[in-house]
């Protein structure tokens, strides 16, 4: 069975002390991850070392950075390299979140370069894709998402693509309180998987985890995750509450 993942994206929230408490509160709550389930915490850069220490020795629990740069090293003030992340034991990175695309103008080509440098260094990219409300209203979401995948990922080999986690995020459902219905989520996830099947074959496509990332909460996670092609969630606001995120972890199939 492909990996089922509950990924927390803290975004630019919490102080160090609040982040420590949140992780402490989640760690002590009852959840049992089996061999194909994972919990991942994408925390702000200043908290990566703290978070890495907190989860040390925990099975199938990982820390992720929320971004990385597309160069190995150099005169890039304010940026963080994959090599730096590896040096503190971080092996997961969220790439291409809609906020990075919108506020920082990250292009599909730039994201392809970031994906490359991650895979070259054995770091797992959690690659985000998804459409805005105007695209959804025009019923053009399939073409839009397909282009994101094609321009950022389809240069990868069959071996490489299986090391990427996909997070589909309907931008119109992030922080708005709106959520795609479970049927809508399944429909677009199935479409995304079909794109990988067309490019790499059905066997490889069936091994790629595709997460849903639009206002996942404790009260809708189980229904969303029960869909055939939904393999967990990339969770924003609800991941800042220990009990709620624990319920989401326990909703993995």
pLDDT per residue of the chain (253 residues) written in tens, 0 to 9: 899 999 999 999 999 999 999 999 998 887 779 999 999 999 999 999 999 999 998 999 999 999 999 999 999 999 999 999 999 999 999 999 999 999 999 999 999 999 999 999 999 999 999 998 888 889 899 999 999 999 999 999 999 999 999 999 998 877 666 667 899 999 999 999 999 999 999 999 999 999 999 889 999 999 999 999 999 999 999 999 999 999 999 999 9
Active site residue 92: no
Q: Report the pLDDT value the prediction gives residue 175, as an integer from 0 to 100.
A: 64
Q: Report the pLDDT value the prediction gives residue 176, as an integer from 0 to 100.
A: 66
Residues 171 and 178 sit within 8 Å (Cβ to Cβ)? no
Q: Report the pLDDT value the prediction gives residue 100, as an integer from 0 to 100.
A: 96
Q: Report the pLDDT value the prediction gives residue 1, as an integer from 0 to 100.
A: 84
β 61-65/92-95 pair status? parallel
Residues 192 and 170 sit within 8 Å (Cβ to Cβ)? no
- Cα–Cα distance list, 163 to 11, 42, 123, 159 (Å): 23, 18, 9, 7
CB-count exposure of residue 28 (10 Å: 0-12, 13-18, 19+): exposed
Q: H/E element holding 128?
A: strand 124-129
Phi-psi region of 5 (alpha: psi -120 to 50; beta: other; left: phi over 0): beta
Q: Select which of 99, 106, 131, 169 is catalytic.
A: 169
Active site residue 97: yes
DSSP annotation of 147 reads: H
C-beta neighbour count of 61 within 10 angstroms: 19
Q: Select which of 92, 97, 189, 244 is catalytic.
A: 97
Segments making up each domain of the chain, as ranges: 4-249
The β-bridge partners of 62 are 40
Q: Report the pLDDT value the prediction gives residue 202, as an integer from 0 to 100.
A: 97
Q: Report the pLDDT value the prediction gives residue 177, as an integer from 0 to 100.
A: 65
Sign of the alpha-carbon torsion through 214, 218, 219, 222: positive
Report the predicted TM-score, pTM, of the whole model to 2 decimal places. 0.96
For 4-249, CATH gives 3.20.20.70
Report d(CA 33, CA 142) in Å as an integer: 33
Q: Read out DSSP for 97-117?
A: -HHHHHHH---HHHHHHHHHH
């Amino acid at each position: 069975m492909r990996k089922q993942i509950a990924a927390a994206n803290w975004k630019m929230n919490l102080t160090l002390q609040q982040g420590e408490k949140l992780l402490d509160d989640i760690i002590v709550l009852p959840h049992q991850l089996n061999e194909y389930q994972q919990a991942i915490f994408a925390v702000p850069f200043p908290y990566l070392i703290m978070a890495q220490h907190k989860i040390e020795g925990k099975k199938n629990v990982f820390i992720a950075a929320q971004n990385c740069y597309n160069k190995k090293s150099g005169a890039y003030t304010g940026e963080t390299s994959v090599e730096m992340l590896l040096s503190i034991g971080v092996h997961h990175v969220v790439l291409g979140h809609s906020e990075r695309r919108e506020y920082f103008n990250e292009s599909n080509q730039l994201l392809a370069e970031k994906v490359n440098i991650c895979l070259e260094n054995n770091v797992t990219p959690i690659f985000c894709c998804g459409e805005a409300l105007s695209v959804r209203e025009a019923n053009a979401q399939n073409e839009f998402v397909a282009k994101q995948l094609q321009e950022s990922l389809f240069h990868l080999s069959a071996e490489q693509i299986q090391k990427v986690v996909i997070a589909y995020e309907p931008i119109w459902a992030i922080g708005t309180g709106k959520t795609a219905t479970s049927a809508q989520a399944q429909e677009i996830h199935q479409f995304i998987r079909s794109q990988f099947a067309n490019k790499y074959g059905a066997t490889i496509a069936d091994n790629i985890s595709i997460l849903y990332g639009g206002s996942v909460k404790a009260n809708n996670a189980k229904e969303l995750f029960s869909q055939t092609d939904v393999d967990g969630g990339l969770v924003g606001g609800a991941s800042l509450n220990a009990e709620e995120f624990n319920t989401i972890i326990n909703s993995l199939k």
